[in-house]
Chain A
Amino acid sequence: MENSILTSILFATIVAGTPLIIVALGQLIAEKAGVLNLGAEGMMSMGAIAGFAISFETGNIWLGVLAGMAAGALMSFLFAVVVLTLMGNQVATGLALSILGVGLSAFIGKPYESEILPTVEAIRIPLLADIPIIGEPLFAQQSLVYFSWALFAAIVWFLYRSRPGLVLRAVGESPSSAHSIGYPVIRIRYMATIFGGAMAGIGGAFLSVFYTPLWVEGMVAGRGWIAIALVVFATWRPFRVLVGAYLFGGVMVAQLFVQGSGLEINIPSQFLSSLPYLATIIVLVIISRDQNTVRLNAPVSLGQPYRPDA
């Protein structure tokens, strides 16, 4: 019994953390290139409705995930045109993108409000899934959960072990230096931004196709903002994003389990509901308290427009 509760908590934690990881890692790449896109909530909403609609119409969830990715990418492309080509203010444009995405997805989603999708089956990895306690949570999950881990590994490798990753970081640190040695700053920023949008779209599609297989207006419910905050509190380091996302998911799930256990606890549920936010912020602030590491990892040109002078 004890084991099965622990297993359920771990399982639910990983599921709850997955959309945050996918979206936050995408934003991490964009921010490492110096682009601050606050539109994650809007891009996720568009990804959610596109993913749901295409999955529903075609019966193929993978086309749905692709559509979600494309919708997020398209939204971020709009954003990129405004801030990178037209030199618009990144904060204001990002906020506008959020409003646009949330509203537009509600409009597009009207006809899909009464529809549901079948639940996506988990993929059990033989043998490994039978390990007690951690087997189920780690090795019997839906495919996008595995994708989030692959994404994490790929991003760590890309940022710290590959040459293009080095260039990307250089663009975020000092766009003028990168430009002066011949790197196409604007083009790299375009690619990073669109990658961020595509991941936000997949994160949205995860919500509407895998997590709660339905579409309702406002179903992203603030997760885009949490993802953006995670990147900052994790001081732009992928592993801390992973820790933060699972911590957030874990505390949320654990407080639900405490409430549902029927134990007599004298903690107001309002406080329990705010615990995930508190715990995540406190832990990430503590592990990131060293000013030097923060300075080392924060992209210097974040949020600043760059106009290459000829």
Chain B
Amino acid sequence: MTLTKIFNKLALTALLAAMTGTGMAADNVGFVYVSPIGDAGWTYQHDLGRLQLEKETGVTTSFVESVPEGPDAERVIREMAKRGDKVVFATSFGFMNYALKVSKTFRKTAFVHATGYKMGKNMGLVNARFYEGRYLTGVIAGEMTKSNVLGYVAAFPIPEVLQGINAFIQGARSVNPKAELRVIWVNSWFDPGKERQAALTLLSQEADVITHHTDSTAVVQAAEDQGKYAFGYHSDMSKYGPKAHLTATTHHWGDYYVKTVKEVQAGTWKPSSVWGGYAEGMIALAPLNKAIPADVQARIRDMEKQIAAGKLHPFAGPVVDQSGNTIVAAGQDMTDDQLNQMNYYLQGVVSKIPN
């Protein structure tokens, strides 16, 4: 991995040199990406947002992809601020401290960091309620499973990933109390071979609907090969498994980017912490597979509206964890603080949590 980093750095230096050479025209907005844009996935969704921003506001944008979450990130962010970018979007958790540091030097630039928890005088935060989509995919999984065993290929046990796992089983159990969920941790965000192996393992051990919280499309492809079902994540992954792909939880950053940049241009921008979901249009499902019965589809569409209206919370009480403790009492919803500190499995997950 470090070797790719060195290579990226070389490319980066060249790119920075090229960028600083260009004259300053209209307002420019900079984007820092952690991985290659590719064709699906986390960074791809941010880049869709960038393209929407260009189209709707007419600003120019520039991006640097594959920026490692280390001192290189600071260099890239600093360079963007130095050449006069109005807004800099740093789109990965590991950029947080670097963005904050640079924001203290460039007080006139607006910084926005995705998925972190530190704000600054001129640095805002944005994150998405991925678990809202996960809950709905869970409902579909609960309806579609025949073996009542669901599978989940996960990267690292951090709250964001656990929210997804728990929302998935909450959704599944809301329609199918017999559903159980097995989780395999691959301890890597990206290793298609290992992700596929984990998916095949789950499928050979009774699971018939699987999903993943890693970065490649290997899990969807594995389900397609085995004639089972899967959900994509980040992006619509249906072309990797047209029959297997039931739907996907997708992220949409464009509206937020447009709003932020317009506020900055109008001089009304203040750093804020936005945690947007269905209501803000930041989470949506990819087109539903025809294999999903029409009545389930209709219910999903209805639940989408309820979530957007705030009437349905994926972690509405009673929420009970694996060992039987009540986390949220009946009649209440889980608070954002509780969500951010999630470090347990809920009832229905049969694997043990890694500690």
Contacts and interface: CB of A to CB of B under 8 A. Distances in A.
B256 to A, nearest CB: 26
Given A99-B6, A260-B182, A214 B240 contact: yes
Contacts of B6: 99
Contact size range, B: 35 or more
Interface stretch (A75-83, A156-164, A218-226, A298-306): A218-226
Contacts of B239: 114, 116
A170 interface: no
B216 interface: yes
B218 A221 contact: no
Interface in A84-112: 95, 98-100, 102-103, 106
B38 A217 contact: yes
Give the residue among B182, B185, B207 with the most A Cβ atoms within 10 A: B185
B185 A5 contact: no
Given A269-B354, A270-B354, A211 B38 contact: no
B204 A216 contact: no
A113 B221 contact: no
Nearest to B181: A262
A12 B38 contact: no
Contacts of A260: 151, 182, 184, 198, 201-202, 205, 207, 351
Contact of A269 (B4, B40, B185, B205): B185
B186 interface: yes
A111 to B, nearest CB: 10
Interface in A213-264: 213-214, 216-219, 221-223, 252-253, 256-257, 259-262, 264
Contact size range, A: 35 or more
A270 B216 CA distance: 20
Contacts of A269: 157, 185, 187, 354
B343 to A, nearest CB: 13
A273 interface: yes
Contacts of A53: none
B6 to A, nearest CB: 6
B7 A103 contact: yes
Nearest to B224: A119
B352 interface: yes
B286 interface: no
A16 interface: yes
8 contacts: A5-B205, A8-B201, A99-B6, A214-B216, A216-B216, A221-B194, A260-B202, A262-B149
